[in-house]
A and B are shown apart, each in its own frame.
Chain A
């Protein structure tokens, strides 16, 4: 095993870096889209700060549909779109497109949950002080739910590690690709085990970092 470890070390390093790159890039883009979407879902709710029931129903639909499609199906189904965006449908950059599309509704739901955990009284107090819907979103909802949103970021990143491994099945690169090519197709159990260990370490790091940052940011726990 030690011998094979040395043999496959360059591959394992490359795979890990690819997985980290895919995860971080797609988490970033998923939040760029999902955070505003989640805020919009909360704000346009019938009891929200900017009630727009019809838009809210459409958003709920989009989020639910996005979350219903199994990732492996989505990955293949949107290949033409992926090719349109990045010019190819294989490799790490191509994988980021379906990862972002899969994670955006997930992020929107997480953000919605984080904000709905807030004490309604605080939002009401801001309304009583004459805050506009936009001010309530930017000055109350977002900053007050930052610790919870931070935990959501690590949940999303961990989910995307798993999804990116799936993308390995269709030439997406990363540790998943290694595990399938060497571990599965070539029956190299040692490579399989090494990739799994690396994935476990990666997930542990993401989880601990998320919890630590959230705790550091939360002014309630001092």
Chain B
């Protein structure tokens, strides 16, 4: 579903160039919940933002659903992005719109008929357990409810991929669990491939079937989550695993 090969991303700093990603090679299969874990500044957010071209890679290939993303025109890129949902740490909801109208937003963009928008949005809100909040405004919701609205908004167009950029980092541990549970269910129900960026090993442990570890701009190990967690091959993974119990006993 997502194939990344020899992907580089560098930023022009004040004095010299900063390498954010170096020679990234990854394959994410259809239906995977693929975790990408690393410390702050390792480059994981840059990597996920390269997947829908919110960041433009400097070189290399990024294929999503067989389509090379880096060479698309603006109009083609907008169409491709409609097949890729995304949720964020800060939810990024439209504060002046109701919950229902937030979920409707991506459908409005592609000119879906009004009755169909309403039907699909209500359906989606039911899936995330917020059917009774359709008329509420985001400011009236808790963090977990906001992220549920964002998930409904990201999936209402039936995208092939859902990108989750630190989606639970702003939530408490109980709410995090319920959101992870929801994502897992939606993955099974809709078959949507998920890419999950996180710095918390418990997130990959509870959610992801496969995991890649990113450290100072490189992928240092990848494979099945169970194998990586039980038998880490690099120091950074061992640190992350050891750290888990210290920070969050669960």
Contacts and interface: CB of A to CB of B under 8 A. Distances in A.
Interface residues of A, number: 24
B82 A220 contact: no
A125 B96 contact: no
B109 A219 contact: no
B84 interface: yes
A221 interface: yes
Contact of A222 (B84, B92, B140, B154): B140
A122 B153 CA distance: 13
B92 A125 contact: yes
A129 B94 contact: no
A48 to B, nearest CB: 14
Interface in A114-142: 119, 121-122, 124-132, 135, 139-140
A114 B153 CA distance: 26
A53 interface: no
Looking at B77, B79, B106, B138, which has the most chain A CB atoms within 10 Å of its CB? B106
A146 B96 contact: yes
A122 to B, nearest CB: 5
B81 A121 contact: no
Q: In which size bucket is the chain B interface?
A: 20 to 34
A121 B92 contact: yes
Given A128-B52, A220-B139, A119 B90 contact: yes
Interface in B142-164: 153-154, 157, 163
B139 A122 contact: no
Contact of B92 (A122, A130, A143, A147): A122
Interface in B70-94: 77-82, 84-86, 88, 90, 92-94
Interface in B42-85: 52, 54, 77-82, 84-85
Residue with the highest number of chain A CB atoms closer than 10 Å, among B94, B98, B137: B94
A107 to B, nearest CB: 21
A144 interface: yes
Contacts of B139: 219-222
B96 A128 contact: no
A128 B81 contact: yes
Given A119-B90, A125-B88, A144-B95, A219 B78 contact: no
A128 B137 contact: no
Contact of B54 (A127, A132, A219, A221): A127
Interface of A: 119, 121-122, 124-132, 135, 139-140, 143-144, 146-147, 218-222
28 contacts: A121-B90, A124-B88, A125-B86, A127-B54, A128-B54, A128-B81, A128-B84, A128-B163, A129-B109, A129-B154, A130-B77, A130-B78, A130-B81, A130-B82, A130-B110, A131-B78, A132-B78, A132-B109, A139-B108, A143-B94, A143-B96, A144-B94, A144-B96, A146-B96, A147-B96, A219-B96, A219-B139, A221-B139
Given A125-B92, A129-B86, A132-B109, 20 more contacts: A122-B92, A122-B93, A122-B95, A124-B54, A124-B92, A125-B88, A127-B81, A128-B52, A128-B81, A128-B86, A129-B82, A129-B105, A130-B106, A143-B94, A143-B96, A144-B94, A146-B96, A219-B137, A220-B95, A221-B139
Interface of B: 52, 54, 77-82, 84-86, 88, 90, 92-98, 105-106, 108-110, 137-140, 153-154, 157, 163
Ranked nearest first, the 3 interchain pairs of A and B with the lowest CB-CB distance are A130-B81, A125-B92, A130-B82
